[in-house]
Amino acid sequence: MHTQPLIPYLLLLGDSALVHGQRLCEWCGRAPAIEEELALMNVGLDLVGQARNWLDYAAELLGDGRDADDLAMRRDERAYRNLLLVEQPNGDFAVTMTRQFFYDAWHHAVLQGLAGSSDARVAGIAAKALKEATYHLRRSSEWVQRLGGGTDESRRRMLAAITLLWRFTVELTAGSDDEVQLAEAGVAADPVAVADAWREQVAATFAAVELPVPQPASHFYLDGRKGLHTEHLGLLLAEMQFLPRAYPDATW
């Protein structure tokens, strides 16, 4: 019944988790401590796992013969629906952790809303993912505080990371019209509640180490929900999709 608007919403959830997981894969062997190798891969694994669940459902609703792998590996950037935030390059550890924290605060609030979705499949996937996102948020908010309240250098890098990424947070606090409708039907998370929870989480985490909260980000010409991405996504997909594209008949 909600099939039409639900598909782009599932893609928003699935693509965001997948692209973020892909970024975390790039850290493999390059983290500042072995504990962080483990944690970054752990979080990435959770996100790619969630992406698979959302894309499975999206593929079923699409019913055009494509499966989750086809959606992940054979869609071009104009068809990807992920948040612009998560496609941003890793940068230094402060950029990665700030990106993670902004996303986790959004993700956690969305999943909380979705755990009570009137769509049982959505509620089920969200309930499982919420446990993982709770851990992700705890970890990334702690790192924001460690870096923000650590040394002069870590604070300087933290402030630079916030400046770099803040413009993309507009997407975390503004849902599309479709999402508002889906939320009214009890299927999607209420974008207003998500935005409030996000701002509250950022304010509380930043306040603990006296990081300034910038003015709300303003409209940003691009829009991940519409498949209008930054220049980073095309390269990310070129790498991620290389094998299935180069060997279209292969079975892996």
Partner 1 sequence: MYAQLVETGVKHVKALEEMSPEERHFQEKIDAEIKIEAKNWMPEAYRQTLIRQISQHAHSEIVGMLPEGNWVTRAPSLKRKLQLMAKIQDEAGHGLYLYSAMETLGADRDDEIAKLHSGKAKYSSIFNYPTLSWADMGAVGWLVDGAAIVNQVVLQRTSYGPYARAMVRICKEESFHQRQGYEILLTMMRQGTQAQRDMVQDAINRLWWPALMMFGPSDEHSPNSAQSMAWKIKRQTNDELRQRFIDQTVPQLELLGCTAPDPHLKWNAERGHYDFGDIQWDEFYEVIKGNGPCNQERVGTRRQAIEGGAWVREAAVAYARKQQNKNAA
Residue 127 half-sphere exposure, CB side, CA atoms within 13 Å?
A: 10
Instruction: Specify the residue, 153 or 200, whose C-beta has the smaller distance to partner 1.
Output: 153
Question: Exactly one of 68, 105, 110, 126 binds partner 1 (CB under 8 A); which one?
Answer: 68
- Among 79, 83, 102, smallest CA distance to 16 is for 83
- What is 47-106 written as a DSSP string? HHHHHHHHHHHHHHHH-SS--HHHHHHS--GGG----TGGGS---SHHHHHHHHHHHHHH
Least gap, CB of 98 to partner 1 (angstroms): 13
Q: Does 72 bind partner 1 (CB under 8 A)?
A: yes
> Closer CB to partner 1, residue 25 or residue 61?
25
Among 4, 34, 215, 221, binds partner 1 (CB under 8 A): 34
Q: Are 173 and 199 in contact (CB under 8 A)?
A: yes
Residue 47, token pair as written in the block: 């996100």
Least Å from the CB of residue 252 to partner 1? 4
**What sign does the dihedral 202-203-206-209 (CA atoms) show?**
negative
Stretch that binds partner 1, among 99-107, 216-224, 226-234, 235-243 (CB under 8 A): 235-243
Residue 243 found at the interface with partner 1 (CB under 8 A): yes
Toward partner 1, which CB reaches closer, 154 or 173? Answer: 154
Q: Is 120 in the site for partner 1 (CB under 8 A)?
A: no
Asked if residues 231 and 77 have their Cβ atoms less than 8 Å apart, the reply is no
Q: How many CB atoms lie within 10 A of CB 138?
A: 12
Q: Is 51 in the site for partner 1 (CB under 8 A)?
A: yes
Binding site for partner 1 (CB under 8 A): 18, 21-22, 25-26, 28-38, 41-42, 44-45, 48-49, 51-52, 55, 68-69, 72-73, 93, 145-147, 149-151, 153-154, 157, 239-240, 242-244, 247, 249-252
